[in-house]
């Protein structure tokens, strides 16, 4: 077998490229086979495809979460300086401030809970590293 990629004007391919091409061809072949849910080997066929699928990654980076949280915090701090706040306060009186503060607190609490729940493994690793100087195993963190 030559080391050239068929159908390309380029010269010989690297062994890594050939290996990746072979893996992708095997994965495509497994997709071409008819997949019936009633087949007994359904689990084996799905398990055979799993090594070729990309690992799931983070949807939103920590940097974006922190940036959004800062924008949320600044906007809540700046609300009392807005014209709308003065209009509502004039219309509803001083009693408008307490519900506004409660809603703001609920929004910040919900945002923080979502952040912590989506980054629990990273937070556990950081806490464990600071205490013990070692990274927590995936099974121990989850």
Domain count, the chain: 2
Q: What is the pTM of this model?
A: 0.49
pLDDT digits (tens, 9 = 90+) for 99-129: 888 999 999 999 999 988 888 888 888 887 7
Q: Give the gyration radius of the chain's Cα atoms.
A: 27
Same structural domain for residues 47 and 71?
Answer: no
Residue 96 and residue 33 in one domain: no
The pLDDT value given to residue 1:
45
Q: How far apart are CA 108 and CA 70, in angstroms?
A: 10
Domain extent at residue 47: 1-55
Average pLDDT over residues 61-88: 88
């Amino acid at each position: 077998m030559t080391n050239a990629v068929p159908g390309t004007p380029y010269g010989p391919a690297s062994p890594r490229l050939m290996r990746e091409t072979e893996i992708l061809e095997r994965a495509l072949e497994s997709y071409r086979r008819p997949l019936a849910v009633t087949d007994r080997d359904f689990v084996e066929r799905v398990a055979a495809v799993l090594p070729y699928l990309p690992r799931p990654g983070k949807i939103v980076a920590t940097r974006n979460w922190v940036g959004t949280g800062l924008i949320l915090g600044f906007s809540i701090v700046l609300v009392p300086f807005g014209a709308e706040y003065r209009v509502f306060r004039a219309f509803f009186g001083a009693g408008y401030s307490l519900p506004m503060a409660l809603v703001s607190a609920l929004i910040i609490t919900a945002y923080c809970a979502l952040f912590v729940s989506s980054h629990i493994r990273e937070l556990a690793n950081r806490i464990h590293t600071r205490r013990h100087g070692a990274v927590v195993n995936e099974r121990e963190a989850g």
